[in-house]
A and B are shown apart, each in its own frame.
Chain A
């Protein structure tokens, strides 16, 4: 290849990259900018692009106990609750998803494909119509207004897909490795734990990250199930800024930044495994 096409190639590539970056990142960036603006600047027309007099007031307000935007929301607590719910349900999902995923990938039993298909289809049952029956169920179980209840509910929602990802990736691992371990006297569960799982780490991380984000950002069920302030999650706090009467995008922006940050860190370090795991899940669906 001579120099000219190569230059064109890179220019073209950069332009495409910028267009994609603009589309994907601009809305987030715009919220981020809003977090440094004042209420009156946000109302101003024509809209000012950069904050005219950048302020950290919105961030301070979120974390100052005297100014909790009225709902008496305790942001450290909200974030703590969200972490609790997301992490616990992720642990449950990965653990049980791995067990089931292994069974679906490696063992033969009647109804296997049907059950796995059924699990996948059950993912489609979520929606507005399920809110009430689910609420009823959670109340019967005494699990409304409880973060534990939310952990169980999210786990049930997340398990089918996690099982599917894990099963798909386990099937990629050569059977021979496992068989030789079993030949050496390891039981099936031992060989699964010692030989198969280390190789499946990317898939497990993928499933974990997938579920973590879903649980972290869920709103519909959390908003209707949780009642007391001490149980509320971060999405409820975020939504409280997008009320009918308020135009407080500086708080939305600030809270969104705080909420997105931990997740971005997780992604930043887990990104490589994440894509690899998804690949395994998707290539041989």
Chain B
């Protein structure tokens, strides 16, 4: 047992060192910067909350929080729901679904800089193929500006986000659904359960773990996503798509105000870390039960 313990530490050492050095180190840096007053690019005094007070006084920041909630919560929820739907579809055996299963990962392969530009171009009401098609087929009477209309922009971004992140979620859930024991489904069918009831009461409980897992994974990805909103709207129009990631970028690289940017990322971190802590707490049982085996 003693040996095992040493071996274990030895085995996880490289991972821990790598993460400490390349991830935790810079993060610590951000933490100290958030408590540092920065004037004209020079550090002027550590141990101040001025960055945080400046943030709370900034009206844009509250708008940013609201938009970020749509982005992260709305994005995650839709990502998982659409992923569940598509995953259920893909779990059906047919030539069509087998082909789709291979192709569906394409959105994930190209760098987001490129896909963001492509979507921006396609969605444009006047010079984009989607805008043009909607208008010429008579689906919309007037030009529809997905990225220029403050009421549409946030949800349009979410649609693109889902396009990029959902395929993997769908594949994971598809695999989970396919692993649900056939006899359970068959038994439910014998009892006269409809397709929806079978899905709701047999499949869902069986894949509950996968669902929680992809929810948290999607949330982590969506939080880290920055290029899509930045390239597609730059936070506009009128800040209606300004989210944490874009505002942090703007504060540090456009305004050269990296103290504020750091404070914002600390707030961002605390919020997300609490969500993950919640997740780990919920999943505590699975680890504990394994540990006692």
Please give the residue numbers on chain A whose beta carbons come within 8 Å of chain B beta carbons, in ascending order: 13-14, 16-17, 20-21, 23-25, 27-28, 30-31, 45-47, 49, 96-97, 99-100, 102-104, 107-110, 112-113, 115, 117, 119-130, 132-134, 136-137, 152-153, 155-157, 159-160, 163, 171, 175, 188-189, 213, 216-220, 235, 238-239, 242, 249, 252, 256, 259-260, 263-264, 267-268, 271, 274-276, 278-279, 281-285
Contact = CB atoms under 8 A, between A and B. Distances in A.
Interface stretch (B52-60, B142-150, B174-182): B174-182
Given A122-B23, A123-B220, A27 B115 contact: yes
A24 B107 CA distance: 7
Given A109-B8, A249-B121, A259-B109, 19 more contacts: A13-B96, A17-B89, A24-B163, A46-B136, A49-B129, A107-B4, A113-B287, A120-B280, A121-B277, A128-B226, A128-B252, A129-B265, A132-B258, A175-B293, A256-B114, A259-B111, A263-B109, A267-B102, A281-B213
A47 B276 contact: no
B27 interface: yes
B226 A127 contact: yes
26 contacts: A13-B89, A20-B89, A27-B122, A30-B118, A45-B126, A47-B127, A103-B12, A107-B8, A113-B280, A121-B277, A127-B226, A128-B246, A128-B265, A130-B265, A137-B21, A152-B18, A152-B22, A156-B19, A156-B21, A157-B23, A216-B109, A217-B110, A252-B114, A275-B172, A282-B213, A285-B212
A181 B215 CA distance: 38
A128 B248 contact: yes
Nearest to B173: A282
Contact of B245 (A128, A274, A276): A128
What 3 A-B pairs have minimum CB-CB distances, sorted nearest first?
A: A156-B22, A133-B26, A279-B175
Interface of B: 1, 4-5, 7-9, 11-12, 14-16, 18-19, 21-27, 29-30, 33, 86, 89, 92, 94, 96-97, 100-115, 117-119, 121-122, 126-129, 132, 136, 163, 167-168, 171-172, 174-176, 179, 207, 209-210, 212-214, 216-217, 220, 223-224, 226-227, 231, 245-246, 248-249, 252-253, 258, 261-262, 264-265, 268-269, 272-273, 276-277, 280, 283-284, 286-287, 290-291, 293
A31 to B, nearest CB: 5
B109 A264 contact: yes
A242 B174 contact: no
Contacts of B96: 13-14, 17
Contacts of B291: 108, 112
Given A188-B4, A276-B175, A282-B172, A102 B102 contact: no
Nearest to A280: B175
Contacts, number: 284
B286 A285 contact: yes
B40 to A, nearest CB: 17
Contacts of B108: 213, 217
Contacts of B5: 107-110
In terms of DSSP, what is the predominant structure of the interface of chain A?
A: helix
B51 to A, nearest CB: 12
Nearest to B1: A108
A193 to B, nearest CB: 13
Given A128-B248, A129-B264, A119 B209 contact: no
B28 to A, nearest CB: 8
Contacts of A121: 272-273, 276-277
A270 B91 CA distance: 18
B248 A129 contact: yes
Nearest to A268: B102
Given A13-B92, A96-B15, A137-B22, A219 B111 contact: yes
B113 A235 contact: yes
Contacts of B269: 124-125
Contacts of A110: 5
Nearest to A33: B129
A149 B89 CA distance: 42
A130 B30 contact: yes
Contacts of A117: 276-277, 280
Contacts of B100: 17, 20-21, 24
A107 B105 CA distance: 35
Nearest to A130: B26
Contacts of B94: 13
A127 B268 contact: yes
Contacts of A156: 18-19, 21-23
